[in-house]
Amino acid sequence: MNDNKKDDSEHNAQQNRVYLESKFGKEIFEVSPPLEGMPLPYHPGMDELFASRESTQWVESCIAEAFALSRERIGSLASGLSRRLFLKASGVVLAAAMLPIGTPLGKSAAYDATPSGGCTPGGGDYTYPSGTPQTDIDAFYTDTMDASMVGLAAGGTIEGRVHAAIALAGGLGDILPGHTVCIKPNCVQYKSETINGIRRSAPIFTNPDVLRYIIRAVVKRNQDPARVFVAERSSFGVSTLLQLMLSGIYHVAMQERVNVLPWDQKPYIQFPLGSKAHYLTSPISVPESIRTFDHFINVPVLKNHELPVEYTLCIKAFVGVLNPNDRLSNRHKLHDSNIPEKVAELNLCRSYTTMNIVDATEIVLSNGPTSNGMIYARPDIVIASKDRVACDSAGVAVLKYHALQQGITKNYTQKTVWQQRQIIRAGELGLGYNNPDLITLRSNTDTQVIRDITRIWSECV
C-alpha cells in the first residue's frame, strides 16, 4: 500500500471510530491505560476493521444486536436504557446485581491480597463472587489424582462433541448447585481473512457454539445462570468488550442468561507465585476474581503461535489472566526468553481447574494468531480433561497431525508431544501429568484419523 492510500485508510478508520463512538459512547473502545511511559501497541487489524464503511456497518450491527439482547435480558430494568448508557452503566455489562434472575451473590470474607485498580475487597457492590471459594483452588492436580483421562470427541454435531468430550473426561460432577463458575474463552484481537475471494473472520476466537453448549452443561450442574461468568481479557490495547461482541461470545452469554466479565474493567491483585516459580520470580498481576470462583473452566481454541511459545492451548491461554502491563513490563520480561516456561508458571495463580475444553473445530496451523496468510484445518474435534497438561498433550497431537498432512514444518512439528516445553514445565509444577503412562486417551469414535492422532500422541523420543 503506497503512503497516500495508507493515509486515506487511517483517516477513514479514525472517522468511522468517531462515528461509532457518537452512537454507542467511547466505552466501546476504552482500555485500561498502560504503565507510565509504556505506549499502547499498534494494532493494524483494528484500523483495517474500521477502514471501510461496509466493515464499520458490520461492527455497528454487532454492537446493536448485543444491545438488543441485553435489553431483552434485563427486562423491565431496561426502561430508559439508551445505547450509550448501556455501555456506560457498568464495568461488567449487565452485572449480576442487575439481573432479575437467580439469587443475589452473597458476600464472604474478603481475599487477603491487595488489589490494584481503585477497589478494595468488601468495599462497594461486587458484580462477581468475592471471598473464599468453596473449592480448593490451590490443589495441585498431581496431589489429588493418580491418573488423568482425556476425552477426544469427533463426528456428529458440535453439541454432541462437547457433551461427549466432557463425559469421556470424567464429567462436571464437581460442580454443585449454587457454585460459582468462571468460563474463560479465548478472545484475542479480531482478524479477518480472505479465503478463495471470500472475506471472513479468522478462527482465532473460541467458537461461540462450543461455548454455548459448555454453558448449558455448567448451568445444568449449578442450576443458576446468575452464578456463571464468561470472563476474558483480550490483546493488549484493545477493548475486551468489543472483541467479545465481534466474536459472538457476548451474544451467546446473553442468550444463555449468564454474565459477561471483561477483566480489563475490574481490579487486579498482586499474586505471589511462590517457590515453585523459577522464571517468574516477582508477583504477577491477575484479576481479583480469578481467586474467588468455585470453579474455573478453560476453553481455548487450538492454534499455532508464531512467537517461541509455538502454540495456544490450555496452558498458554492463561496469558489472558495476566494484566497486559505485566505482559510487556521489564519486571517479568515475558517475551524476552523462556516464554513456554513462564507461560506454564502463570498457571500457578489457579492450580485447580474443574475442566479444560479445547475447541478444535477449526484450527490455525501456521502464521497464527493474527499474521497474514494463516493456514487452517478443520478437525471438527473437541478435547476435554480435568488435567490441563494432559489436555494440551492431546491438542498438540491434533495440531501436529494436521500440520504434517499439509506439509507444514514448524518447531512444534519437529518435536514429540512430550518434548514441548510448555508441557514439560507445567508437569514439573504439578499442574498435571506429562507422562503418557499416567494418561488415558479416550475417544467416542475409532477412525483412521483418531488412530493417527493417538499414534503421534504416544510417540516418545
State pLDDT tens for residues 36-63. 556 666 566 677 788 888 888 888 999 8
- The reply to whether 361 falls in a domain is yes
- The reply to whether 358 falls in a domain is yes
- The reply to whether 357 falls in a domain is yes
Condensed to tens digits (0 to 9), the pLDDT of residues 414-427 reads: 999 999 999 999 99
Asked if 327 and 334 count as a contact pair (C-beta separation under 8 A), the reply is yes
Q: Provide the b/e sequence for 160-195 (b: ≥16 CB within 10 Å).
A: ebbbbbbbbbbbbeebeeebbbbbbbbbbbbbeeee
Q: Which residue has the higher pLDDT, 44 or 408?
A: 408
- The reply to whether 283 falls in a domain is yes
As a three-state string, the secondary structure of 349-377 is HHCCCCEEEEEEEEEEEECCCCCCCCEEE
- The reply to whether 85 falls in a domain is no
- DSSP class of residue 248? T
Asked if 235 and 189 count as a contact pair (C-beta separation under 8 A), the reply is yes
Helix 208-222 × helix 158-168 angle, to 10° = 50
Residue 166, classed as helix, strand or coil, is helix
Residue 452's pLDDT is: 98
Where is mean pLDDT largest: 41-45, 129-133, 200-204, 267-271?
Answer: 267-271
Asked if 208 and 255 count as a contact pair (C-beta separation under 8 A), the reply is no
- The reply to whether 196 falls in a domain is yes
Residue 251's pLDDT is: 94
Confidence of residue 184 (pLDDT cuts 50, 70, 90): very high
Condensed to tens digits (0 to 9), the pLDDT of residues 96-148 reads: 433 333 333 333 332 233 333 322 222 334 467 888 999 999 999 999 999 99
Return the closest-CA partner of residue 186 out of 170, 216, 208, 201: 208
Rounded mean pLDDT of 339-363? 96
Condensed to tens digits (0 to 9), the pLDDT of residues 29-39 reads: 777 666 555 66
Domain that holds residue 448: 93-458
Residue 369's pLDDT is: 85
Contacts of 197 (CB under 8 A, 6+ apart): none
- Whether residue 181 is predicted with pLDDT greater than 50 in this model: the reply is yes
Q: Please give the share of the chain, as a percent, with pLDDT higher than 90.
A: 56
Residue 37's pLDDT is: 58
Asked if 69 and 278 count as a contact pair (C-beta separation under 8 A), the reply is no
Work out how many domains the chain is built from and give that number.
1
Rounded mean pLDDT of 1-24? 72
Confidence of residue 457 (pLDDT cuts 50, 70, 90): very high
Q: Provide the b/e sequence for 41-67 (b: ≥16 CB within 10 Å).
A: eebebbbebbbeeebbeebeebbeebb
- The reply to whether 57 falls in a domain is no
Residue 226, classed as helix, strand or coil, is helix
Q: Which residue has the higher pLDDT, 40 or 379?
A: 379
Residue 235's pLDDT is: 80
pTM of the entire predicted model: 0.89
Residue 43's pLDDT is: 64
Mean pLDDT of the chain: 84
Q: What span, in angstroms and rounded, lies between the C-alpha atoms of 302 and 309?
A: 13
Rounded mean pLDDT of 68-78? 71
Where is mean pLDDT largest: 66-75, 112-121, 349-358?
Answer: 349-358
Query: What backbone phi and psi angles, to 5 degrees, belong to 285?
Result: -95, 115
Q: In this structure, which amino acid lies at residue 73?
A: R
- The reply to whether 52 falls in a domain is no
C-alpha cell at 314: 490450555
Contacts of 277 (CB under 8 A, 6+ apart): 345, 348
Residue 122's pLDDT is: 29
- Whether residue 91 is predicted with pLDDT greater than 50 in this model: the reply is no
Cis peptide before 208 (omega within 30 of 0): no
